[in-house]
Amino acid sequence: MGQNIVLQGNSEIVADAVEGDGGNINITTQGFFVSADSDISASSQFGLDGNVRVETINGDRNLELAILPTNLINVKETITVGCNSRNNFALAGKGGLPQNPSEQLRGETVWQDLRLVEMDSKRSRESKNKRVQRPYQPIVEAQAWKINHSGNIELIALNSASVALDHDAGCPSLD
């Protein structure tokens, strides 16, 4: 008798037979846990199948209650929502995200380093010293869209001074 028996990772308890009768499996334990890919079998191909008997007994279990925190976080206060919930996020084409959040990344995307390798020369050292610091521009959530001169939809921020809106800025649907 064991305290707990756990079958996991394609584990097997087998008492099978080909020509004779299958064996008998008797398990007495306090806890018996079997994963979906594990198997217990007492069968026979040409004879009678055996029996599998699992008996769990109520031993002296020292169970304790876990004390959970009572100050829960309201997730609505931690997520910024700029558009109505009727909008959606579409994943189209190649990229680094799986189609389903429960899937793993597939090896479809190949990264290739296309940067130019600088030669160690006087000119490259001089150009490194002359680099201009650009002012910091914060990333702003898109609040509207417009159709640019190429006919493509462009997401824009409303605080952008150079943008004249042709469409409603309230995150309209594109249908």
Rg (Cα) of the chain, in Å, rounded? 32
32 contacts: CB under 8 Å, gap ≥ 6: 4, 5, 54, 56
Q: What is the pLDDT of residue 97?
A: 63
Residue 65 maps to a domain: no
Whole-number pLDDT of residue 108: 56
What are the tens digits of pLDDT across the range 85-102?
666 666 666 666 666 667
Which is more confidently placed, 117 or 154?
154
Q: Which range marks the domain in which residue 142 is found?
A: 82-88+138-175
Exposure string of 76-110, with b = 16+ CB inside 10 Å and e = fewer, is eeeeeeeeeeeeeeeeeeeeeeeeeeeeeeeeeee
The pLDDT of residue 74 = 81
- Is 129 within the bounds of a domain? no
Establish if 33 belongs to a structural domain.
Answer: yes
Q: Is residue 150 part of a domain?
A: yes
Residue 159 is assigned to a structural domain of this protein: yes
Number of separate domains in the chain: 2
The answer to the question of residue 18 being in a domain is yes
Res 167: pLDDT: 47
Note whether 4 and 33 are within 8 A (CB): yes
Residue 147 lies in a domain: yes
128 band by pLDDT with thresholds 50, 70 and 90: low
101 inside domain? no
pLDDT at residue 111, rounded to an integer: 65
Q: What are phi and psi of 124, to 5 degrees?
A: -70, -35
Q: What is the pLDDT of residues 36-89, one digit of tens each?
A: 898 889 998 888 899 999 888 876 666 677 888 888 888 777 776 665 666 666
Tokens of 65: 């209650």
- Extract the runs of DSSP E, i.e. beta strands, from the chain: 2-7, 12-14, 25-34, 39-41, 52-56, 144-147, 153-156
